[in-house]
Amino acid sequence: MRGWKRVWPASAATMVLVLAAACVAGASPAATTAPAGSVASVEGSPRAPVASPASPSSVPTPAPTQAPPTPTPADPDPALTPDMVALGQRLADAVRSMRGEVAVSVVDLQTGEAVAVNGDRQQMAGCSDKIYIMMTLAKAIAAGEMREADVHADVLEMMGPSETPPARRIIARLGNGDVAAGLRRVNAMTRAVGAARSIMTHPPGYYGEEYGYEVETGIIDNLVTTNDYNRALATLWKTDFFTPSEREYILWSMTIASIPLGHHKGIQLPLWGNPDATVYHKPGGMFEPDNTWADTGIIAFTVNGHRYAYAISVLAQHTSVIWESRAYAARLSALAWETMAARYEYR
């Protein structure tokens, strides 16, 4: 996991996401939903592998390992301080003013304080659930099943422009050539990091492929929740479930999704050119009829030499157009940033 170097410096943290057509063009049937829950980019640097990718014939992929171990249990939910109570109310008020189905969850990764609106409601993932593929892949590389160099090009395409064929290839590789086995492995990782209400029934973008989940669960869409995403991100950031090398690899992959267009329109950090702030995230979207925008990530910033971070996940679907859903994500993200910046006296 250590054979890489950065080949260009990270730049501004205020970026707009551009999704590949393969990720956003497809439409799937409406997602099943749970009851509403209670009252939350950066451009990065490509990892350059030291070795050239080997051919498939020269580096066989071992059979999938057993499901990953359970993460270190988190502390019980702490009581909310007044500023977090106020944030929860502001988010709830904003969501009530929005069309379609909108969910948002925010967690302070220092204190564990969390607020959410519709946080346990299942909604469509778009391509945002590729972070679970990356978590599974990081463990597979650490176990010696493959090298970073073998999947480097696919990771760049999957997590950057969000192309879907590379995601399918990585899933197949995780299953020793079997997509169904790879999906089972990704879903095992999803559960292991605390995302119990999320499921990947097919490789992102491949809506016509069926791997038994419709019969087994009655679900045909890839479904996620904002609370699940934030639990997974807290596991990534705070616990020993991932090694430092695995964590670094996953976080790096969450910095390559954005292209600078002057301002950011998804999960956002309303600063321009500030090297002390970073957004790690993975967006996803779908056009008509779903008009979905999904975005999940961690915003980290430095104050007086101390690094602070919070996780925010936003799901919006069935609005008038996909760009309305994306604008909702930006609006909710701005509310979260205002609270967190004030909380830690970020200037």
**Domains in the chain and their CATH numbers?**
10-49+74-118+127-343 (3.40.710.10)
Q: How far is it, in rounded angstroms, from Cα 280 to Cα 45?
A: 12
Q: How far is it, in rounded angstroms, from Cα 205 to Cα 216?
A: 21
**Residue in 105, 295, 281, 65 with CA at minimum distance from that of residue 188:** 65
Query: What is the structure's pLDDT at 5?
Result: 28
The half-sphere exposure of 23 on its side-chain side, counting CA atoms within 13 A, is: 31
Instruction: Centre a 10 Å sphere on the Cβ of residue 289 and count the other Cβ atoms it contains.
Output: 12
Cα-based distances in Å from 332 to 102, 122, 156, 231, 336: 10, 18, 28, 19, 7
Query: What is the structure's pLDDT at 97?
Result: 97
pLDDT < 50 positions in the chain: 1-22, 25-75, 259-265, 272
CA dihedral sign, ordered 228, 231, 232, 233? positive
Query: What is the structure's pLDDT at 347?
Result: 79
Cα-based distances in Å from 26 to 23, 126, 199, 226, 286: 7, 9, 18, 22, 6
CB 46 within 8 A of CB 158: no
**Residue in 126, 122, 125 with CA at minimum distance from that of residue 26:** 126
Q: Which two tokens stand for residue 283?
A: 């967006």
CB 279 within 8 A of CB 43: no
Query: What is the structure's pLDDT at 85?
Result: 97
Query: What is the structure's pLDDT at 274?
Result: 63
Q: List Cβ neighbours of 270 (8 Å cut-off, separation of 6 or more).
A: 14, 264, 334, 337
Q: List Cβ neighbours of 186 (8 Å cut-off, separation of 6 or more).
A: 132, 133, 136, 171, 174, 200
Query: What is the structure's pLDDT at 137?
Result: 98
Query: What is the structure's pLDDT at 56?
Result: 31
* pTM reported for the whole predicted model: 0.80
Dihedral angle at the C-alpha atoms of 165, 288, 262, 93, nearest 10 degrees? Answer: -120
H/E element holding 298?
A: strand 292-303
Render pLDDT for 292-347 as a digit per residue (tens, 0 to 9): 999 999 999 999 999 999 999 999 999 999 999 999 998 999 999 999 999 999 87
Cα-based distances in Å from 300 to 163, 251, 268, 313, 346: 26, 11, 12, 14, 11
